[in-house]
Amino acid sequence: EPPDTPKDFSCQTQDMKRVTCTWREGETYLYGQNLPRYTLSKTSSQKTALCEASCSKLCSCSWDIGQQWIWNVTVTVENPLGKKTATDVFDVNHRIYPAAPFQVWEDCTDTEITLHWNYENNEIELFCQTEVHQPDGKVELHNSSVAGSKCVTVRGLRPYTEYTASVRCGAATHFWRWSEWSQPLTTRTKEGTPSGKLDIWREITPVPGGQNVTLFWKQAPSFQANGKIISYEVTWEKIEDGSKPESVSFSSVYNSTRIFIDNHSYRISIMAKNNVNFSLPSVLIISKAIDNSRSIFSTEELKEGQVNATDDGIFISWEPRSIYDSYIIDWCNFPRLQPCDLQWKRFGPNTSSAVINSAAFVPGVRYKFHIYGSVANRPSLLEKKIGYLRELPPHLDPVVRKVDLTYNSVTVSWDSYFTNESDPGFVRGYHVYVSPIQGNCNLKGSKKHILSDESELCKYTIENPEEKKYTVKHLMPNTKYKIVVKAFTGGGETPIVNFRYIDTPTNSNMLYFVFLLVIVPILVAAICHWKMEWVKECFCPVIPSPNKSKVLSFKEFKMDSEKVLKINDCLPDMLAVDSNIEAQKL
């Protein structure tokens, strides 16, 4: 293809002595002797080349300008298929592209950095810009306030903080473009007085004659060390009598200490120190031991409330009180170890709930939380909470102590589930599982439960963890069953492994009923057969006796002591008189 017109053709100077023109070449798909040829010349005299072009990614051509300031130049590109040109008219004074500054150095205070630099051509008046990279990745640009200045001061920096800076310059008059950035310079501001206060807390243990107070401290989010912390200063003094304070200094590697105080109120303060100065003191008031006995040591008076976990941690809420200016929650990261790695977190007066999380929290471990209200640096225990990051099934099953059977029910009794701090969850209740040895279970009032081997159980749920007895009804008499009692937590229950086997007795009421229906009639029939003649004589005599007649047993047939049968009350088939004497009486 014929060549394209040179693109982005422009000319500029770095030192006011030599001009360099650059452009981008196009693709012609010709090679060897047919490659495009570039010629740069004055537009008025294109036969005389000003320089020989060289091309890689970008084509360039340079020449000395001498005393000429206004130029009209043309670049010509040609190959065997055609020719194209591009022209640029410029004033050298308007095309200054300075070289990058060099020899950059700095002067520092705790909040300022003054950058200094040099550049090659001091005859050109330049205007410079500084780029400062903050520790958080942000970039700030600062312009020099005076043209020709070779320094700039960057203010408002943080003490003892590392910054990276670079400088670039452009012509102060007839600005054309910025130079390249100088080599970056990394520097650190000097140390300053620590700002803010340490976050401090305590753990109190009563001992004979006083109290052991374990003090903890850490850098609060608002605290700025502004240097390298070299020590911590701990001071304590009695509040009542204004006695001389005691103090001790600790290396920066420590974040806790233990002191002994008597039963009076004490004011404790802790300060951080760097190579410049101390921070402001953080103050904590320890109340008299008699007050602590009510608010700290006798924690049994406060019932431990259960708290639940969320996806983000353990959710804790408390009842706010208007008298407190802040709240503190403390807990142990490792409650089963000593020391337990006590942690704490502060909240503002308008906060009544929080989500506590820690990388040390693991499922199945019970964590205790103490909630304090603080007024004028004097904390008081308000509430206690216990909870889990995630509950796990209980380690043990309830111990069944007694099984009472009837023909259609079973009553199981178990010991109270002994709970302690090592439990992997809160016991929420119990499940009672029952199933006949043969066949599936379909007892009234139960739910089906399928085991891993696809066998079926009847499941009863007891949601009261204080319950210790349960009766399963609607069983079949004279049947063998298997039964088990399982405790469950918020994390479920352990797999069912061991059953207890029972046999329901025969129904005694049914035997009595069978006795009445079968045995009694058989006995009566046997007696009747044995006394056949007597029965026949009694109930079916050949010659009826009036005294034995049932018909004559009613009161209306009795006259004095004799039984009388009125002839008109019955119509006999035949009348026979056995005795004339008796007939005369009748």
Q: Tens digits of per-residue pLDDT, 172-224?
A: 888 999 999 999 999 999 999 999 999 999 999 999 989 999 999 999 999 99
Would residue 574 count as lying in a domain? no
Q: Which CA distances in Å does 470 have to 403, 409, 429, 444, 448? A: 10, 10, 12, 15, 18
* pLDDT at residue 123, as a whole number: 81
Q: Confidence class of residue 583 from pLDDT cuts 50, 70 and 90?
A: low
89 and 115 assigned to the same domain:
no
87 and 110 assigned to the same domain:
no
* Planar angle of CA 227, 233, 235, nearest 5 degrees: 150
Would residue 572 count as lying in a domain? no
With beta carbons less than 8 A apart as the criterion, state whether 110 and 191 touch: yes
165 and 233 assigned to the same domain:
no
380 and 404 assigned to the same domain:
no
Listed residues 504, 530, 551: the one ending a domain: 504
With beta carbons less than 8 A apart as the criterion, state whether 481 and 436 touch: yes
Q: Across the chain, what does the average pLDDT equal?
A: 86
Listed residues 188, 206, 230: the one ending a domain: 188
19 and 86 assigned to the same domain:
yes
Q: What is the pTM of this model?
A: 0.70
* pLDDT at residue 216, as a whole number: 96
Total tally of structural domains belonging to the chain? 5
pLDDT at 295 over 50: no
Would residue 116 count as lying in a domain? yes
85 and 165 assigned to the same domain:
no
419 and 377 assigned to the same domain:
no
For the chain, the maximum distance between any two Cα atoms, rounded to a whole number of angstroms, is: 193
**In a 10 Å sphere around its CB, with 0-12 CB exposed, 13-18 middle and 19+ buried, how is residue 561 labelled?**
exposed
178 and 224 assigned to the same domain:
no
Would residue 299 count as lying in a domain? no
**In a 10 Å sphere around its CB, with 0-12 CB exposed, 13-18 middle and 19+ buried, how is residue 393 labelled?**
middle
Calculate the CA 392 to chain-centre distance.
16
Q: What is the CATH number of the domain that holds 326?
A: 2.60.40.10
Can you tell me the distance from the alpha carbon of 419 to that of 388, in angstroms, rounded to the nearest whole number?
15
* pLDDT at residue 580, as a whole number: 67
Q: Tens digits of per-residue pLDDT, 509-540?
A: 655 665 667 777 788 788 777 767 666 666 66
Would residue 1 count as lying in a domain? no
* pLDDT at residue 296, as a whole number: 41
Listed residues 31, 63, 94: the one ending a domain: 94
- One-letter-per-residue 3-state SS of 297-339: HCHHHCCEEEECECCCCEEEECCCCCCCCEEEEEEECCCCCCC
pLDDT at 367 over 60: yes
Would residue 351 count as lying in a domain? yes
Mean pLDDT for the stretch of residues 302-320? 92
Would residue 566 count as lying in a domain? no
pLDDT at 418 over 50: yes
With beta carbons less than 8 A apart as the criterion, state whether 217 and 198 touch: yes
> What is the span of the domain harbouring residue 51?
7-94
423 and 463 assigned to the same domain:
yes
Q: Confidence class of residue 284 from pLDDT cuts 50, 70 and 90?
A: very high
171 and 202 assigned to the same domain:
no
88 and 150 assigned to the same domain:
no
Would residue 560 count as lying in a domain? no
133 and 214 assigned to the same domain:
no
pLDDT at 27 over 70: yes
Residue 327 structure tokens: 């709240």
Please provide the distance, in angstroms rounded to a whole number, between the alpha carbons at the two ends of the chain.
166
